[in-house]
Amino acid sequence: MTDYFRNDVLIKRPYIQLHWCLAEIQMPIRCEIQADDGRIRYWWFVPELQRYLRVVTLADGVTLHNAFPDRRFKP
């Protein structure tokens, strides 16, 4: 995980559990590669949140960079 993920995302959003993010990149509902920087977006439904969670990794597809509930995502 990036320093940003560790020091900002997990601190600002304490309800996000690391195991959700790790499971999501293994079994996403959808994934997209961002054209500008190659980062990869993953979406997964989290029953505990009753929302879809978007997780962003670096271009390697492994290094966690960001995570947040995505209110606009439609499966």
5-15 residue pLDDT tens: 999 999 999 99
- Please check whether residue 39 is in contact with residue 60, taking contact to mean a CB–CB distance below 8 angstroms: no
Give the pLDDT score at 75.
Answer: 85
Give the pLDDT score at 67.
Answer: 97
- Which residues neighbour 9 within 8 Å (Cβ) at sequence distance 6 or greater? 16, 66, 67, 68
- Domains of the chain, by residue range, sit at 3-69
- Which residues neighbour 52 within 8 Å (Cβ) at sequence distance 6 or greater? 29, 43, 44, 45, 46, 69, 70, 73, 75
23-51 residue pLDDT tens: 999 999 999 999 999 999 999 999 999 99
CA dist., res. 53 & res. 46, Å (int) = 7
pTM for the predicted model, two decimal places: 0.91
